[in-house]
Chain A
């Protein structure tokens, strides 16, 4: 090697660090997308079941939603992880975290979905049934599409919250690290917290902006189908 040898140990921000953060952002997105999809599916079923108005369905579901929304996510992460351990499931912190996130966001989505279904006017549903549609045809072709579009902005808000909440999976030490944990690792090494945190902030900001923008686009396209004239 010549006189310009690269020191073995560098205390500066390196290309590898940037890659780690980029990968972290990717993990954040994957966590958001997967648990967002699973949680939304769960939330639609639970939200719908809530509208059935049967006490033996309503009580347990309200209990689930209530608990999910009254206990810090961090504690939920740790509790479900130890439940898996106690039950003898061998499951990685990453997937245990994914499970918790889905269950968590599902509780919030359920409330939003229920509000959406409830917002469909009674006569619209009667009109569907009056045409001879079965209960499920009404739900599938009329009530859910209308209800879901009505609460879409609230759902986008939930997904934004979910993306920010994925950062808490750090308490499980899940690997590979998502964005904030990756930043923390780099900070520990190069001791430049402000710079790295600002960088992470920019990443989050951009990802949030993309989701919001996407949400705004879809919302605008649906405006007319929601009965709003632009």
Chain B
């Protein structure tokens, strides 16, 4: 709730003031910020804004079916386009429904601006109808929030919200707007005259640290690049520069779940994802490396495993835009606070200027070591002629995607299917992979696919889903139908909350408590009931046909792929274990029995 009193005098003198209502200011500011699409759901406390929306044609409003759906749709839109996602919801239940989406965006550093209606200022605190303490509730799940009680401050707050959301480490920002402020008339402050300079995080790297880092990288014997969502957030050029730099060095590279696509997966140097369900080669290389170059990743516990045993022999370089990420979990040798893009291009420049040469002999040895890990073929699985293995379904999907000319975008729900999608679908470009990493929100994928499709009308958008997760925001089918969004929902239907079942099998003595879903809907009929298309594959030989049909449809399509119910997702590092203690499918039987 930032007061912008100090800015008021300036704006009044420096500009011919445009008078308008608070609701009109919202539209005006959105247009000035370059917003053309917003996601939302109306209600009493935002009616003035909806009225203003009705009387203009610059901003398209997408009516979702639930505020959580609207929030994830805005996230998918933001992540796939690089723009700031905007959502508009009413007070009370509208705001509380959006909270999961806001938290999701906070943990995955997705820029969102969320405008919530609020009861009139004179009723705040009275337990008025549909009143909730929105700024109180959202304080810990936003990057920043505002309650605007004075219409003359509104325009400045709106511009500042965009600035805060998109600058530094991106994140969600809430503006809580009482109804009387929406009606009140005040003076508008344009984007250029708004005072937003108070928040200026450091984005340019310290060049001495960059030089030191590049020297360390050049002299490494067993190096690895470990990159994350920060590279994606830094924009497509950061991914391009990263690719150039990594190729120049010839070093191996892995990334977090959030960072997939920054470096092309078809390159030889790509080791696959790391972490709990990452590849054998990526995790072993992390464990045994002597120089780790972490860019835009944050040593999350799903990545590090046991931190006491995390990459014990390496010198670590950590580039992050958020100073609080540095030394939070893992102590590093060279911390660099900077935007990932600026840091990568600075490193590339130093590398070229100093004409660094790598130690080719050492690198050859390192690669032959890595090749022995690769030879383990950690993603192999036992296929079947009668039952569809989820991995096989994704391999077939990938086969047809690779032949499709359209640019493809994958979103996911949360669970085993999400990890398999990360393992089996290669991403060669940034902004093509939308998944809920930090919060792990079931129900993310469908609304995110809707947002992605809106941001990329010609793209092929597929939500790789689980049958349990998809039910959490299934109502968004209706949104997809209304706006003719041909998103494909590829359900790996194992009838189980597969990831929960897997943990119960491996860690809780096979006591399958409440992880089986009785009475699932008929997904084909469900799709049809919404006005979409439903398809089903029950055996491996039905699969190709169904995928081909799915890719041809021009409407929202649900594909119910009946998969093996007992398949587990491997490799796996059990929580609290180290990278070199991971379990492969082949030795699942040797699972550490001390744990159960």
Chain A bound to chain B = no
B residues with a Cβ closer than 8 A to A are none
